[in-house]
Structure 1
Amino acid sequence: MLLTQARTSASGTRYWRAGSGQPVVLIHGVGLDATLWQEQMEALAPYYDVIAYDMLGHGESPLPKVDATLEDYADQLVTLLDELDVPTATVTGFSMGGLVARAFALLYPDRLQALVVLSSVFNRNDQERAGVGQRLAQTLEQGPAANVEGALERWFSPAFRQAHPDRIDAVRRRVTSNDPDGYYRSYALFGTQDRFGSDKLGAIRVPVLVATGELDPGSTPDMAHKLAGQLPNARVHILEGQRHMAPVEAADQVNDLLLDFLAKVHRPSLQKESLE
């Protein structure tokens, strides 16, 4: 259990760090916190210096300001890396974390070695935009618990929900315990900024992995392919039969995918030897 001893950075960000080697940062999604990444930390830490942290407004990190932007969330990450003396890293963002990772890539290209965008959103269509807009309005009125049951149905398969009620309840508690202001400010960015930096994505030259679940209704395979199509050095992987919460429900598949991508990025000589 690597996510048991939390630390707090000088600027107030709660984070966990384990392993050694090339730095790999993990950014969770809206309403969650860094404990999402328990199984990824355990899989990656034997090979990499893994850092998982709570975004603004989540866990025990500071609240975002009233008029916060994705740039503020990217600034939180670069400040954390400065405080930890990490010059560059591979950044993995899940769901809203994928938007933060994209913002970080565009704002701080010299700090990025590679990028993973997992189960994230890009260029929603009118129907998708209307749906998330409705949920955002409900969140403003009713707080984090407004649409959590619908979210759990979208995030997890019926089979997983039935087999693991304790894990589902843990996610439910995590979402509903968020500070209402921090949650809403974050959700507002998640709901409206799917096109963030669309006209600049060609400037992201590092290797990129874009992945999502085959059955994810909010972060669709079509979005993944369209996002990757805007990136010069990207590949797409669709997780067969999976919904949104792949890091939890399909942890082994996600871990294998990350390890394979990271090996290609950071240890190409080992990849070459394995093929000979």
Structure 2
Amino acid sequence: MIQPVAERTPAGTSYLATGQGQPVVLIHGVGLNKEMWGGQIVGLASDYRVIAYDMLGHGQSPRPASGTGLPGYAAQLAELLEHLQVPQATIIGFSMGGLVARAFALHYPQRLAALVVLNSVFNRSAEQRAGVIARTAQAAEHGPDANAEAALARWFSREYQAANPAQIAAIRQILASNDPQGYLTTYELFATQDMYRADDLASIQVPTLIATGEWDLGSTPDMTVQLAQRIPGAQSVVLAEQRHMMPVESPRLVNQMLLDFLGHARTLSDSAKGIVA
């Protein structure tokens, strides 16, 4: 596969696009960028048109304006799809990207073909909320990499960290190089918007997959089940022995789950349109 070259939309969003077929958009987590999806781009691009982009305040995309909320992050994705002339896409959001994917599903339902939320948050407990608010305060005081060591310990297994020191160092560098204000604006949303329009989630009427890892301490299996219960017909999956960064640590496992879901979603779509295989 030819390595895609980053391009920009008129509004400045940096993105990669490769492959042919039904469009699939990948949204990274807070502090990361579109490069986290390398394993998924390789695994999905033979069957789908795969689009990965940098969220506002991350990578090569512009900083969000002061006070930007989740609707602004959803609007960024809508502008990207408009630029690419994509009328509908499957949206796959990881962690903070899962919140953006949910917001997009609520604000732009006509642009949504299917929805995948990976390792994301919903209905935090008081203890979980206090912990993420404390990390937000640390980031505000000390910068984007204030919690890097603790984050990496939550995100990856010890074995993976030991076997892939160069990759772990690169991710640590990505965290440290974030624009402080862009990172903080995004992290504050990540910390506070887990219940964003929760009562409206029942309006989502597309095939939906909610998944996390068995050992994801911040985006727990219980959160996954609760979120799936809010969306009609949503499937919930908990991958055994996986931590938060399972798309990076176990790309083949995650890709197989995604390909199974995407195939199922395509079958449902074709049935709805009266298409016989």
TM-score bucket of the superposed structures, by smaller chain: over 0.9
Task: Give the match for residue 274 of structure 1.
Answer: none
Unmatched runs of 5 consecutive residues or more in structure 2: 272-277
Task: Name the SS for the 2:51 alignment partner.
Answer: strand
Paired amino acid for 1:112 = L
| Structure 1 residue 88: Cα displacement | 0.3
- The equivalences for 1:14-163 within 5 A come to 14-163=14-163
Task: Give the match for residue 248 of structure 1.
Answer: 248
Q: Distance in 2 between matches of 1:128 and 1:269?
A: 38
Task: Name the SS for the 1:210 alignment partner.
Answer: strand
Q: Distance in 2 between matches of 1:15 and 1:43?
A: 18
| Structure 1 residue 4: Cα displacement | 5.1
Q: Is the 8 A contact 1:34 1:53 kept in 2?
A: yes
Q: How many residues align?
A: 271
| Structure 1 residue 11: Cα displacement | 1.2
Task: Name the SS for the 1:243 alignment partner.
Answer: coil
Q: Is the 8 A contact 2:228 2:235 kept in 1?
A: yes
Task: Give the match for residue 9 of structure 1.
Answer: 9
| Structure 1 residue 268: Cα displacement | 5.6
| Structure 1 residue 145: Cα displacement | 1.4
Paired amino acid for 1:60 = Q
| TM-score, with structure 1 as normaliser | 0.96
| Closer, same or farther: CA 207–238 of 1 in aligned 2, 3 Å | same
| Structure 1 residue 10: Cα displacement | 1.4
Q: Is the 8 A contact 1:3 1:38 kept in 2?
A: no
Query: Cα RMSD between the aligned structures?
Result: 1.4
Q: Is the 8 A contact 1:2 1:38 kept in 2?
A: no
| Structure 1 residue 5: Cα displacement | 1.4
List per-residue Cα deviations over 1:74-130 (Å, max 9, x = no partner). 000001100110000000000000000000000000000000000000010000000
Q: Is the 8 A contact 2:23 2:51 kept in 1?
A: yes
1:170 matched to 2:143: no
| TM-score, with structure 2 as normaliser | 0.95
Q: Is the 8 A contact 2:4 2:18 kept in 1?
A: no
Q: Is the 8 A contact 1:3 1:35 kept in 2?
A: no
Percent identical among aligned pairs is 55
Aligned structure 1 segments of 4 or more residues deviating by more than 6 angstroms: none
List per-residue Cα deviations over 1:140-190 (Å, max 9, x = no partner). 000111111100000001111111111111110111100000000000000
Task: Name the SS for the 1:202 alignment partner.
Answer: helix
Q: Distance in 2 between matches of 1:42 and 1:4?
A: 11
Unmatched runs of 5 consecutive residues or more in structure 1: 272-276
| Structure 1 residue 68: Cα displacement | 0.8
